[in-house]
Each structure stands twice: as structure tokens, then as C-alpha cells.
Structure 1
Amino acid sequence: MPPDTARTRAKLLDAARAEFAEHGIAGARVDRIALRAGVNKERIYAYFGNKEQLFQHVLTESLQELNTVVTMPNDDPAEYIAQVYDFYCARPELLRLLVWEALYYGHDPVPDEERRVTSYAAKLQEFADHLGVKPSPDVAQLLYSLIGVAAWQQTMPQMSRVLLGADSESEEARANRRKHLIEFTRASIASMKQS
């Protein structure tokens, strides 16, 4: 890919990420994305197809970043959940994209669902290996719940404020939530191993 093309695509993806995080798939506007990127909107159609396909490119790229940055440590699966929390604190736009995707597609399959199934099957296997068990529906439910707890705190910041107080976004409050999340994860793992 020529450098100018790669640069233009990157600008469009960055602009689209911001636009989709703010407005969702249905509310996003190709004109605004092009304006943010400083690029002719025809480039969007040439590089990505339609708006839904552009959204999928943005989401796929964001999920790949998550999978690259957040890895299962060899010694402590609770640290994996803490890394998920850290990632979402640093990049809350991914959570917004996932929420918009859920609202748009509902219970219907998403365009790249099979790739995600494969990716999470590998994460489930790693998680189960660290627990010393085989992957099972119970282990999958535990991993799903723990990822949900890690994500929820950034998905619903208003609940953090209401329940935890006005300073719930301070560095100290986030560090305390991270510590609690690690302890909660370890207790959940221990509880599952005992049953």
C-alpha cells in the first residue's frame, strides 16, 4: 500500500473511531468522518465500502489492539482481568463501540462473529489452563463475568459517580477499583475451584 494511501486510511479510521464512539453506527455521518479526517468522503467508499463496513473495520482494529495489548500472564489470571480494566480505562471508546454494535445488531450475529468466537476460544483455553481445568461452560461463564465486571466500570461512569462518589474517577479511586477487581477475581476463581 503506498504511503499516502496508508496515511489516508489511518486518518479515516481515527476519525471514524471518534465519530462512531460518539454517535453509533446509525447516527454517524460519513460527511463528518471525512471532515474530521480532512479527506474527501469518496475515499471512505473506495477504501471501506459503506458505513457499516467502515464501522466493522474500526471495531476490528480496536479489538485487535485489545488482543495485542492485553495478554494472559503466565502466573496470575487475575492480572489479565486487571489488564482488561486498565485497557478500558485508557481507551473507553472501544466499550462505546461495542455498546453501539449491540444496540445496532441486537441478538443478530455481528459481521465478524466467527473470528471473535475463535479469538475468545483461545482466551478461554488460556484461562482454563491457568486454572488447571478444562474449558467448560462454567469456566466460560466465569471469564465472561469477570470481563464484564472489568468493563462495566467504564461503561457506566454515571453509576460509579452515583454509587462510589464524585471522586470515583480520581487516580486513587481507579487504583482502589483495580485492587478490588484483582481480589474479586481471585476469590471468584477460588470459589469455582472449590465447587
Structure 2
Amino acid sequence: MTRDPNTTKERLLSAATEEFAAHGIAGARVDRIAASAGVNKERIYGYFGNKQKLFDAVVGRALDELAEAVPLKGGDDPAEYVGRVYDFHRDNPVLVRLLLWEGLHYRDEVLPGEGQRRAHYEEKIAALGESLGLGEALGDEETAAVVARVLLSLIGLAVWPAAVPQMSRLILGTAGSQPDLREHVVEFARHALEARTPAPA
């Protein structure tokens, strides 16, 4: 019986996602990934080349899932976008772990596919600028820089509770697991945007 290579790759990516999220690049074991996927570990090298390239493929796929699940379009309510990002990472903490491992591994080095990822965020900056009524002003370097910093701050606000859940628990106690934390994050974002965003020219 011939195996579908796409199905095999998908099983490998799914197994690798869990392994890398738990152990990072250095700690992940190719043999564990292969065993979990139910394939010979030589398939990993055949499909992906090496463990690091497999990790990069896993991160890329996870980011694609995020982009599809939580798009940001011009005209969207930025505070509600923060809520949707919060929901995604609360329900899918694996991506946050992968990004933390990626940061530890690559640090300030150029990331694989960095140009494409940068272009993705530039699209988000443009969409956020449009939502804030600053679309035409984004040609101004200073305004574009402000909107870029706002985007980074909004994502950080939404993701941090999932990235360090122990901090939420220590600071908030049982309140950290309640729905009112999401409401607070959204409202905090709304007030911060009203206070920080420059008025349209």
C-alpha cells in the first residue's frame, strides 16, 4: 500500500509541533517525532533536510494558522482585534511556546523567511493605520513608526498572559483564569489607543 506523502508530512508536522513546543530545537528528538508520527525518522530528513528546517516549517505553519484565524483588515476595531488575538493564544498556547523557543535559538540572527514575515507585519501596520484613520499619513516615516509601535504593544498585551501564565496566576490569583481578564485587556487596549494614537493630519 502506497502512503500519501502529504499525509505523512502532515503527521510529521503535527508531531514535531508538540515536540518542539515542549523541548525547543536543542531538546527536541527526531526519533521521538518520528515515533509519534508513526514513520521512519529518515522521512524527516527526506522531507525537511534537518531538525532545524523542520522547526522552521513548524513555526511557519503555526504562523499561517494564526494569520488565517485572526486577520487584521483596515476598518477593523483594533481593540476587538486584541481580544481575538488574546482568544487565539489562550486557546492555542503552542504557538507562543514555539515563538519563545525561536527567540532563544535565533536571538538577533536573521530568521528563515524573515522578508516574508516582515512583509506580513507591514500589511498589518497598514491595516491598523487605516483602522485608526491614519492610512494616508502612513507615508510619513514618524507616523508609520508610531503605528508600528502600537501594533507591537497591542500584540504584546494580547499574548503576554498566554506566554507567561504563571505571572498571571501570581499577580491575579484565581482572577487570572476568569473571562474578565479578556474584557480588561480589550478595554485597556481601547483606552490606550485613544490616549496614544496621533490624530490624523
Contact 2:56 2:112 (C-alpha < 8 Å) held by counterparts: yes
Runs (4+) of structure 1 exceeding 4 A deviation are none
Give the Cα separation in 2 of the matches to 1:82 and 1:3: 41
Sequence identity, in percent? 47
After TM superposition, the structure 1 = structure 2 runs for residues 11-160 of structure 1, keeping only pairs within 5 Å, are 11-72=11-72, 74-133=75-134, 134-135=137-138, 136-160=144-168
Give the Cα separation in 2 of the matches to 1:193 and 1:128: 10
Give the letter aligned to residue 48 of structure 2. Answer: F
Shift of 1:3: 6.6
Tell me the matched-pair count. 190
Question: Scaled by the length of structure 2, what TM-score is found?
Answer: 0.90
Shift of 1:71: 1.5
Give the Cα separation in 2 of the matches to 1:22 and 1:167: 26
Q: Structure 1: which 5+ runs fail to align? A: none
Residues 184 and 38 of structure 1, relative CA distance in 2, 3 Å threshold: same
Give the Cα separation in 1 of the matches to 2:17 and 2:60: 11
Question: Scaled by the length of structure 1, what TM-score is found?
Answer: 0.93
Q: Structure 2: which 5+ runs fail to align? A: 139-143
Q: Which residue of 2 aligns with 1:179?
A: 183
Q: Secondary structure at the match of 1:110?
A: coil
Shift of 1:76: 1.0
Give the Cα separation in 2 of the matches to 1:184 and 1:38: 46
